[in-house]
Amino acid sequence: MRLTQLFTKTRHNAPKDETAKNAQLLIRAGYIYKDAAGVYAMLPLGLRVMEKIIAVIREEMKALGSQEVTMTTLQRKELWEQTDRWDDDKVDVWFKSKLKNDTEVGLGWSHEEQMTVMMRDFISSYRDLPRSVFQFQTKLRNETRAKSGIMRTREFVMKDLYSFSRDDKEHDKFYSEVQKAYTRVFDRLGIGEWTYLTYASGGAFAKYSHEFQTITEAGEDTIYVHKGKKVAINEEVLNDEVMKELGVTRDELEEVKAAEVGNIFNLGTTKSEPLGLTFADEEGKTKPVVMGSYGIGPARIMGVIVERYADDKGLVWPAAAAPYQVHLVRLGSDDDVIAAADKLYKKLEDDGVEVLYDDRDESAGTKFADADLLGLPVRMTVSKKTLAEDSVEVKKRGDDEAVMMKLDKASFGLVGKE
C-alpha cells in the first residue's frame, strides 16, 4: 500500500469528547472513525489489525476441532422467553425492534439460545457428540454508557464458541483445552505477559466462570493477581472459599486494574433443558446436552494492545497484530531516490513482506512523526544520505538508534520479527 493511495490521513487531535487513549490514538492515526458514542467504524488500517487478530483466534479455534459458522443478528423472542432472558429487567442490554407484521424481534447481543436451537437439528445421538461451533459475529448491546474507547462499545465483533458434550467429564476436558487455546492466542498477540486466568462470577450460568483479564490502567475491573501461579480473582468473588480453592492467601495477591479480553462459561444444561437439546445415550436414554460458552473480543484485544504498548509518540504494534510489518519512508523527490525506494518496495513485497510505502511529497519531520504515530514494527528510510552509502536506514519502532543496511542485502528477515 502506498500512502498516496490511502484515503485516510493522520491528524493532530482526536475528538474532544474522546477520553480513552486507545480511541484517541487510533482516530488520530486513521485506524478508526468515531460515528457516535460507543460506535466506531474500522478504516483500512484498523481493519487490517482486526483481520490479523481474528486470523490468530480462528487458527486456534480450528485447532480445537471447532467448526466456523455465521449466525443471524435477528433473534426470535420466543427462544429467549424460554430461558427467561427476554425481559429487560433480566437482561438490560437488548436492542429490540418489530417486523412489519408486528412480530417482536431482538438484535443479537449473544447467541447461546439461537445456537442451541439450531443444534437440535444435528444432535440426536451420543454418536453426534462432542461438537463445538464458533463464529465471528457483530453483537449489538444497548450499554447505558459506552466508554473506554473500542474496549466497550454498543456494536462490536465477538468470537463466540459453543461446545456440546455428553457429560461433565467430556465437557471439562474441552473446557480445559479452550483455556490453553486462549492462552496461546494472547501470547501470540503480545499481551500474554499481562493476561491472567481470572476467577469471576458465573452469574446465571454457574457458581464461577473464568475470565481472561489483561492488566492495564484503562481497565474497568479490579482483580487480585498471584503472579507466581499466573492466576487472579475478580474483586466480585474475592473471598476465603475462592482463595482456598486456588491455594493462595490475601497477602500474596496484588490489586490491579484490568480489562477483560475473554471469558468462558460452563453452561451445564441451563440452555439445553429449556430449549429441548437432548441426545440418546448408549442405552437409549434421553439426556440433555452439556454446554459451554466461550467468548473473545477482537476489538477489545486491539484496544488493550494500544493501551499496553503505545508511547508518547503514538501506536506501537507487536508483529502479529501490525497492519503492515514495514513502514518504508522515501525522503526527497530526486529520480535516484525515487528509483531506489520503488525498487526496495518491490523487493520487500516480492519477499512476502507487508509494506506501507510513504511516497508522499512531505518533509522528513512529517513523515517520521506519522511513522511513529502509525506504529509499524520497522521503519526503513531511503534518502540522498543513505544512497551515498548504497544503504537504507533501518529502525525498529521503540528503539532509539537506527542502523544502516546495504540496499542489495536489505531484508526484513535480517531485521527480525520480534
Domain residue ranges of the chain, discontinuous segments joined by +? 21-309, 326-415
Evaluate whether 226 touches 253 at the Cβ level (below 8 Å).
yes
pLDDT above 70 (res 300): yes
Q: What is the per-residue pLDDT for 284?
A: 96
Question: By three-state DSSP, how is residue 185 classified?
Answer: helix
Q: Is the pLDDT of residue 301 over 70?
A: yes
The residues pairing with 105 across neighbouring beta strands, listed in sequence order, are: 76, 97
pLDDT at 148: 84
Q: Between the CA of residue 113 and those of 72, 162, 293, what are the distances in Å?
A: 12, 11, 11
Q: How far apart are CA 78 and CA 84, in angstroms?
A: 10
215-245 tens-digit pLDDT: 999 999 999 999 999 999 999 999 998 899 8
User: Which pLDDT band, with edges at 50, 70 and 90, does 170 fall under?
Assistant: very high
How does DSSP assign 363-414, residue by residue?
-HHHHHHHHHHHT-SEEEEE-HHHHTTTEEEEEETT-S--EEEEGGG--HHH
The pTM of the full predicted model, rounded to 2 decimals, is 0.93
Q: How confident is the model at residue 400 (pLDDT cuts 50, 70, 90)?
A: confident
**Strand residues in 70-154 grouped as ranges (E):** 74-76, 95-98, 104-107, 131-140
pLDDT score recorded for residue 13? 86
pLDDT at 146: 75
d(CA 377, CA 416) in angstroms, rounded, equals 10
Cβ–Cβ under 8 Å, residues 162 and 178 = no
3-state helix, strand, coil in the chain (%, to 5): 35, 30, 35
Length of the chain, please? 418
Average pLDDT over residues 309-326: 96
pLDDT at 113 over 90: yes
pLDDT at 325 over 90: yes
At CB < 8 A and 24+ separation, what contacts does 310-313 make? Answer: 310/21, 310/22, 310/25, 310/375, 311/398, 313/369, 313/372, 313/373
Q: What is the pLDDT of residues 254-299, one digit of tens each?
A: 999 999 999 999 999 999 999 999 999 999 999 999 999 999 999 9
pLDDT category at 418 given cuts 50, 70, 90 is very low
List the one residue out of 200, 201, 204, 207 whose CA is nearest residue 231.
200
**Across-strand partners of 258?**
215, 221
C-alpha cell at 76: 426470535
Position 369: which residue type? A
Query: Which of 300, 135, 340 has its CA nearest to residue 219?
Result: 300
Question: Grid coordinates standing for 73?
Answer: 443478528
Give the pLDDT score at 152: 86
Which distant-in-sequence residues (6+ apart) come within 8 Å of 352 by Cβ? none
CATH homologous superfamily for the domain 21-309: Bira Bifunctional Protein; Domain 2 (3.30.930.10)
Rounded to a whole number of angstroms, the CA Rg of the chain reads 25
Strand partners, 382: 330
pLDDT band at 378 (very low <50, low <70, confident <90, very high): very high
Question: What one-character-per-residue DSSP string does 290-345 give?
Answer: EEEEEEE-HHHHHHHHHHHH-BTTB----TTT-S-SEEEEE----HHHHHHHHHHH
- d(CA 381, CA 395) in angstroms, rounded, equals 9
Q: How far is CA 417 from CA 85, 186, 319, 408, in A?
A: 47, 17, 6, 20
Q: What is the mean pLDDT of the chain?
A: 93
List, for residues 56-103, the tens digit of each pLDDT value. Answer: 999 999 999 999 999 999 999 999 999 999 999 999 999 999 999 999
Instruction: Identify the architecture of domain 326-415 in CATH.
Output: 3-Layer(aba) Sandwich (3.40)
The whole-number pLDDT of residue 203 equals 61
Q: Nearest 10 degrees: CA dihedral of 334, 336, 341, 346?
A: 130
pLDDT of residue 417: 42
Q: pLDDT-derived band of residue 414, with 50, 70 and 90 as boundaries?
A: low
Least confident window among 11-15, 45-49, 371-375:
11-15
State the pLDDT confidence band at 398, using cuts at 50, 70 and 90.
Answer: confident
